[in-house]
Structure 1
Amino acid sequence: MDAPTPLPPRLADWFAARGWRLHDHQAAMLARAGAPALLLVAPTGGGKTLAGFLPSLVELAADPRPRLHTLYVSPLKALTADIGRNLRAPVDEMGLPLRIEDRTGDTSQTARRRQRADPPHILLTTPESLALLLSYDDAPRMFAGLRRVVVDEIHALAESKRGDQLMLALARLERLAPGLRRVGLSATVEDPPALARFLARHPDACAVLQADPGPAPDIAMLDTTPPPWAGGGARHAIPAILEQIRAHRTTLVFHNTRAQAELFFHALWMANEDALPIAIHHGSLARDQRARVEAAMTAGKLRAVVCTGTLDLGIDWGDVDLVIQVGAPRNVKRLVQRIGRANHRYNAPSKALLVPANRFEVVECHAALAAVREGTLDGDPRGPGPRDVLCQHILATAAAGPFDADALFAEVTTAGPYATLPRAAFDACLDFVATGGYALRAYDRWQRLMQVGGRWQLRDPRAARTIRMNLGTIIDTETLPVRLKSSRGGAPLGEVEEAFATTLTPGDTFLIGGHVVRYESLREMVVEVTRQPGRDPRVAVFNGSKFATSTVLAQRILAMLQAPAWPDLPAHTADWLALQHKVSRLPAPDRLLVETFPHEGRHHLCVFGFAGRNGQQTLGLLLTKRMEEMGLAPLGFVATDYATLIWGLEAVADPAPLFDPDRLRDGLDQWLQGNAVMKRTFRAAAIVAGLIDRTTPGKRKSPRQATFSSDILYDTLRKYDPDHLLLDITREEAMRGLVDFGRIEEMLARVRGRIDHMALGRVSPLSAPLFLEPGRIPVHGAGRERLVEAAAERLMAEAGLS
């Protein structure tokens, strides 16, 4: 046990004046302040951010001389600003002569230049802004005195390429400031040792400090009328939710997608007869509107906010005393994070209610409740660091000045995600960055690096500006701004997907920011609208996150279904499952339930794979392709997180041949070759790796222009250089991203060929809701041709021509 470290008088007096004392984990952070790396796992409201800063404040209180001492990195600009406000107050109250400043995309150019020349004691930033700072030739001077880096909400960063980018930046900082100490902070970690390895400077160990988790959350299902069989809107629960809002000070109502949030907010507002002050907050809204909602929350002026993942993380917006999750959470870790938004205090239990949107989500919500109560979190193991991010890092390194390849490789492999990177893989990335690769090396625009005296440098120093303008791993979605129509340019309302905007005709209405608006025109890539209160809207299909049910949660649901009875489930759901057990079977963890039955003149096949929405959708594509090859004439399919329903003209007598793993993988490879999924994935990888510039000095490409450029490059590389690095990266990304074939392989490994084929005479209770699901995908093959021919014959006979 480390000896406790006493607080300096200024800090001790400040704590004493408030009647506070250090929590055990805060004292432990002080005692181990000299450790190379520490990961603190502490519940929301447990003062983990203060714990991360305490060693810095102690050191700066003793030695406040001007230099950059501590770097704070968070995934959100808003979180950075919030932490800045919360940190400046005690620093000012203690009378510490410290400068604390933000450095994000919102920071003015004047402030950015000043920060590089005269950095503050504590700089609060994001991964993208840090990468930009490190791309300048004066980075060694700016970071020479850096002593500590605090990474907040590290679990959120570790789940995306932003985390890989950050770890490469920390490897660079370690070289510029030897002895740098790293601190990671998180409230929700399913595998602390794995996250510690991610944060650690390889091969140094990262210690894990686990705080007392505090009181268990007060979490339950909201008692409502029986939910519908399908859909995600949860309109049935609005009266009960309004009753809860009235009974609490501030309620956050979380949804899994922006479109669902908009629909729900509109319905909630129409039912809000008491005129309670409620608002909506999500990432497609205009920045000013989000800022107004945040300010109103902080001031305690709102009774409820309908929101999405934008309020998941550790921002303390105000006196939130209830969280409501509408729709199944899909992920236990995300649910725990959202629950922590309520009662943002260490000694008070967070209060949350779950509202299933449909009948099957009742089962998932109960499984999630059990997981939370047991403290079981989910999360997929991290793979090796992505190579497109490494390519971008090499370009940024060159922008900062000449570098030695051996030294850079040694530096990169000190980053946790790249600790096992083979030298050959590094050299392939370096060759791509330098020349564009075999098929592109003849083009000057991709000849970016050259060797001089054994060191690599930019061929044209002016390219550094373009490289800096394109740093980052967040890929723009194809969205268009929405503005109120005005002769001078009306107020911005937010954004909608370009694909949605192109379907609109003047007079169409849709929801944005909780308001019904009427589409007027598309002018200079801006969607112009007028307000249309009281109209039934079309719904904007925002590109908000569409979560898939995690493997851990799917396994829990399968285990629940095997119970002899379901006393904890509502009667309507328990009766539904009992009827399924009587008519067919219930899905089991180690077996695959496949039902076949006729319905409305078509033969149907339903596969209960529990592989997540992307996996089940990919399974539908692969199975219908296989059925087409077998002459079974499939016509279409629809998928949910749990099952895939396929319909066609011929019955499937034995489904086992459809699930041959080798044939499924071969079918996937063939399908991917010319599919739009690959082109979308290639575009994202090409932008991150620096092959395609999103922005050049004085000009920014639209997503459509970038897509057009990437499509040409993709087709060229497939034809002339099929082993190109970026095509290899694209295949890897597609397999674990939009396609999620790994979940299908996990399902096949779990069942090991054990298939329960139930040949039924009618629709089963468990498959019935799939007939109500939106998003049906047609299959254009022999079956559809047979239908067209049959229809033509009937028409000709009717006309007396046959």
Structure 2
Amino acid sequence: MTPLPAPLSRWFDHRGWQIHPHQRDMLDRAREPALLLIAPTGGGKTLAGFLPSLAELADGTHKGLHTLYISPLKALAADIRRNLETPVAEMNLPIRIEDRTGDTSQTRKKAQRADPPHILLTTPESLALLVSYPDAPHIFKGLQRVIVDEIHALAESKRGDQLMLALSRLQSLAPDLRRVGLSATVDRPHDIAALLACHPKPCAILQADPGPDPDIAMLRTAESPPWSGGGAAYAIPAVLDQVRKHRTTLIFHNTRAQAEIFFHNLWLANDEGLPIGIHHGSLDRAQREKVEAAMVAGQLRAIVCTGSLDLGLDWGDVDLVIQVGAPKNVKRLIQRIGRANHRYNAPSKARLVPANRFEVIECRAALEAARDHDLDGDPRGPGPRDVLCQHILIRACSGPFTADQLFSEIITTGAYRDLSRREFDACLDFVATGGYALRAYDRWQRLVLRNGQWQLRDPRSAARIRMNIGTIQDSDLLKVRMRGRGPALGEVEEGFAASLTPGDTFLIGGKIVRYEGLREMTIEVSRDPGRKPKVAVFSGTKFSTSTQLSQRILRMLQQDDWPELPDHTRTWLHLQRQVSRLPEPGRLLVESFPHDGREHICAYGFAGRNAQQTLGLLLTKRMEEMGLAPMGFVSTDYATLVWGLDPILDTAPLFDLGALRDGLDGWLAGNAVMKRTFRAVATIAGLIERNTIGQKKTGRQATFSSDILYDTLMKYDPHHLLLDVTREEAMRGLVDFARIEEMATRIQGRIDTLRLCRVTPLAAPLFLEVGKVPVSGAADERLLRDETTRLMQAAGLA
């Protein structure tokens, strides 16, 4: 057993604390090349991650950077620094701790490179910048440990891939580097361990005592939830009552727009004037920090928030979490629940508020999954090549390299360990020349081979490359500011701004503001509290229900009865079973019925919103080809409703997977989805620069540039690397065709088509959904022809 150094031991004794078993294990296994710690929120996992570093630095002999801490959030890095400085000061340890994020001054950053602190807390983007400098070998020469906090959040995105590529570079600069991953919610521990490992060395997994099960239930409300919608306005009185009964409540939402609307309605009902704040990623940083400071000081009774507070700011006074809307993902629900009672062995308390009738079922399924510790998550594919291209550019900024050396580094990274040399060489060729169709253009001739080593063709280009490092796509955001040099309120999408005319009102930061005009790429607004706000449209993150949660819902629907559900939902499901049937796990239920002079089919695929939306596009395209005159469709997470002129009695030909895939390829070729995806891929890969010295391109300018490039490559180089990457991204991202393929595999042709005489209970809510997509084609021509004939007959001309 590794003894605690005397200063640390005395500090624990002074606090009256006992070291937790997993903290002791982390200390004993400090020499492991890689170690993943899974510990509950509030279980001291951050201190567990840092204990070996504090023990090794306690004698004051280490010079330079010893430990690098990486967080997905700037605010979390700053919070951890504050929390770490207190015990270090109390123990009087000779340890210098600093953070380095986008908020750090250039003067401070320059000083850190010349004289690194013992412990540096940073983000993936700031680390990528650090390894791009020629003095990276000096900065990292003494590095001993890397701690990746909330690793599950990074593992699900390109930011995680970028981080792990940066770690492969650090490992070559500091061969004895040890890696530590920290998380409270890991659905596939061995996958995360493989991501963290420096192959071929393994990563060990350490699981702490999970602590008591959380106290989670559905919130009881006087009013029943509506049939559709996401606002949950019906629950405002019940939520406000819970806020009164607790010290501090976090009220989570899945989108920023829903958070704004709920906060507005909550504030209107808040007759007692309880102090309530709002926090989401579109708000100005100063606004967010003001809310965070008020929260830390115990001045707020509740915060309406989004994923911006999913991760670990240490607010011990939060004693209740409310999730408004179905969580869509059990892992996210557990993460959010953990924000309450942020203490070791203290049960978290959470209440779920379904926004509509179907979400009652989804929330019930999520509660059962949470109680069963059944976390969901889909395995990630191989490392994305656009991120690899950016990493090659970053590596070139730091100095010359050989292809063999860089390839050997990259394949130590979990996501890229199966990368072939041919794929690597294709990425290197693209970075060096732009690829076949673009190699004639001087601007994309970026690398040259000299004496067997690749290097920047023009060393001055390093500054431009560094300005565009990162994988987060802040697409088309415009600042919102009060008129007359007033305070900044936040940001909204350029597309939303384009829809505004002077006098329009919208919500931001809980305030109703009036759009006055656009000035120097800033939206100017004024206060307008007396008007009804136009709906705020912040894109945020739109979640689809996870595959595992969807399957649990389907299994629930096979029960004879549902005593755990409210009476209104039980009655609804029983009625569906009487007039039709309920969807089953291994089959596809398709209902066909007339309504309001149109014919409808409703397909219950339970494939998630993006996939069901794509299914609607493909089904209507297929129907058009078969002469079935579709007129439009609408989709939710669980079903797609299509309407048209002709009844469909045999739906099996519509769901032929090969035909759907062919239809997708044809539809994607000239579709805006592909152009939008290409723009993101090309920006990450370095083909398009969003930031240039002295200016930043607007969203429209970047779109114009990427559209021209996309059309050029499609015409002259259809197998260009970035087009291949774009197709892969579109298929598993916005289009999510993989979910449709999974559905087709699951049902294996078992399609139950029921011809019914009227709308069914399960299909009825889809008629109330927003986002209906009209289809122009044969149906319009037939309706026009029929109307013309009717008018001619009425006029006595036919």
TM-score, normalisation: structure 2 = 0.99
1:622 equivalenced with 2:618 (yes/no): yes
Q: Which residue of 2 aligns with 1:251?
A: 249
1:182 equivalenced with 2:179 (yes/no): yes
* Post-superposition CA distance 1:671-713 (Å, at most 9, x none): 0000000000000000000001111111211122111100000
SS of structure 1 residue aligned to 2:198: coil
1:305-454 equivalent positions in 2, closer than 5 A: 305-454=303-452
Q: Which residue of 1 aligns with 2:456?
A: 458
Q: Post-superposition shift, 1:478? A: 1.4
1:152 equivalenced with 2:138 (yes/no): no
Q: Post-superposition shift, 1:631? A: 0.5
Q: Post-superposition shift, 1:272? A: 0.3
Aligned residue type for 2:334:
V
CA distance in 2, matches of 1:193, 1:675: 38
Deviates most, 526-535 or 584-593? 526-535
Asked if 2 retains the 8 angstrom alpha-carbon contact of 1:280 and 1:306, the reply is yes
SS of structure 2 residue aligned to 1:62: coil
CA distance in 2, matches of 1:729, 1:200: 25
Q: Which residue of 2 aligns with 1:102?
A: 99
1:715 equivalenced with 2:719 (yes/no): no
The 1:753/1:288 distance shift into structure 2, 3 A limit, reads: same
Q: 1:764 aligns with which of 733, 738, 760?
A: 760
CA distance in 2, matches of 1:713, 1:797: 53
Q: Post-superposition shift, 1:494? A: 1.0
The percentage of counterpart residues that share the same residue type is 72
CA distance in 1, matches of 2:714, 2:490: 38
Q: Which residue of 2 aligns with 1:238?
A: 236
1:500 equivalenced with 2:489 (yes/no): no
CA distance in 1, matches of 2:706, 2:492: 23
1:89-238 equivalent positions in 2, closer than 5 A: 89-224=86-221, 225-238=223-236
SS of structure 1 residue aligned to 2:257: helix
**What is the root-mean-square deviation of aligned Cα atoms in Å?**
1.0
1:376-775 equivalent positions in 2, closer than 5 A: 376-486=374-484, 489-775=485-771
CA distance in 2, matches of 1:204, 1:684: 34
CA distance in 1, matches of 2:335, 2:518: 39
CA distance in 2, matches of 1:800, 1:322: 72
* Post-superposition CA distance 1:96-118 (Å, at most 9, x none): 11110010001100001000000
1:79 equivalenced with 2:76 (yes/no): yes
SS of structure 2 residue aligned to 1:354: strand
The 1:590/1:520 distance shift into structure 2, 3 A limit, reads: same
Aligned residue type for 1:633:
A
TM-score, normalisation: structure 1 = 0.98
CA distance in 1, matches of 2:224, 2:452: 71
Q: Which residue of 2 aligns with 1:301?
A: 299
CA distance in 2, matches of 1:175, 1:800: 88
Aligned residue type for 1:132:
L
Asked if 1 retains the 8 angstrom alpha-carbon contact of 2:494 and 2:699, the reply is no
Q: Post-superposition shift, 1:228? A: 0.4
Asked if 2 retains the 8 angstrom alpha-carbon contact of 1:219 and 1:351, the reply is yes
CA distance in 1, matches of 2:59, 2:647: 79
Deviates most, 786-795 or 266-275? 786-795
1:25 equivalenced with 2:54 (yes/no): no
SS of structure 1 residue aligned to 2:491: strand
SS of structure 1 residue aligned to 2:663: helix
CA distance in 2, matches of 1:629, 1:65: 72
Asked if 2 retains the 8 angstrom alpha-carbon contact of 1:476 and 1:703, the reply is no
Deviates most, 106-115 or 474-483? 474-483
Asked if 2 retains the 8 angstrom alpha-carbon contact of 1:617 and 1:638, the reply is yes
The 1:800/1:478 distance shift into structure 2, 3 A limit, reads: farther
Q: Post-superposition shift, 1:64? A: 4.1
CA distance in 2, matches of 1:774, 1:615: 17
Q: Which residue of 1 aligns with 2:276?
A: 278
CA distance in 1, matches of 2:390, 2:785: 54
* Post-superposition CA distance 1:198-256 (Å, at most 9, x none): 00001111000000000100000001121000000000000000000000000000000
Structure 2: unaligned runs, 5 residues or longer: none
SS of structure 2 residue aligned to 1:770: helix
Aligned residue type for 1:335:
L
CA distance in 2, matches of 1:262, 1:41: 34
Aligned residue type for 2:371:
R
Q: Which residue of 1 aligns with 2:267?
A: 269
Asked if 2 retains the 8 angstrom alpha-carbon contact of 1:64 and 1:97, the reply is no
Aligned residue type for 2:85:
R
SS of structure 2 residue aligned to 1:623: helix
Q: Which residue of 2 aligns with 1:289?
A: 287
Asked if 2 retains the 8 angstrom alpha-carbon contact of 1:300 and 1:318, the reply is no
Asked if 1 retains the 8 angstrom alpha-carbon contact of 2:60 and 2:94, the reply is no
CA distance in 1, matches of 2:766, 2:698: 37
CA distance in 2, matches of 1:568, 1:65: 59
CA distance in 1, matches of 2:102, 2:722: 29
SS of structure 1 residue aligned to 2:80: helix
Aligned residue type for 2:635:
A
CA distance in 2, matches of 1:412, 1:152: 22
Asked if 2 retains the 8 angstrom alpha-carbon contact of 1:477 and 1:543, the reply is no
CA distance in 1, matches of 2:783, 2:80: 63
* Post-superposition CA distance 1:325-351 (Å, at most 9, x none): 000000000000000000000121000
Q: Post-superposition shift, 1:787? A: 2.2
Asked if 2 retains the 8 angstrom alpha-carbon contact of 1:395 and 1:467, the reply is yes
CA distance in 1, matches of 2:11, 2:727: 56
CA distance in 2, matches of 1:368, 1:64: 51
Q: Post-superposition shift, 1:797? A: 5.4
Asked if 2 retains the 8 angstrom alpha-carbon contact of 1:171 and 1:411, the reply is yes
CA distance in 2, matches of 1:623, 1:635: 11
SS of structure 2 residue aligned to 1:98: coil
Q: Post-superposition shift, 1:593? A: 0.3
CA distance in 1, matches of 2:93, 2:365: 49
The 1:283/1:760 distance shift into structure 2, 3 A limit, reads: same
CA distance in 2, matches of 1:240, 1:570: 16
Asked if 2 retains the 8 angstrom alpha-carbon contact of 1:450 and 1:458, the reply is yes
CA distance in 1, matches of 2:745, 2:669: 25
Deviates most, 369-378 or 470-479? 470-479
CA distance in 2, matches of 1:539, 1:705: 27
Alignment length, in residue pairs?
797
CA distance in 1, matches of 2:144, 2:56: 10
Aligned residue type for 2:405:
A
Asked if 1 retains the 8 angstrom alpha-carbon contact of 2:254 and 2:541, the reply is yes
SS of structure 2 residue aligned to 1:652: coil
CA distance in 1, matches of 2:119, 2:719: 46
SS of structure 2 residue aligned to 1:194: helix
Asked if 1 retains the 8 angstrom alpha-carbon contact of 2:316 and 2:341, the reply is no
Asked if 1 retains the 8 angstrom alpha-carbon contact of 2:40 and 2:211, the reply is yes
CA distance in 1, matches of 2:687, 2:713: 12
SS of structure 1 residue aligned to 2:311: coil
Runs of 4+ in 1 over 6 A off after TM superposition: none
CA distance in 2, matches of 1:166, 1:794: 66
Asked if 1 retains the 8 angstrom alpha-carbon contact of 2:316 and 2:343, the reply is no
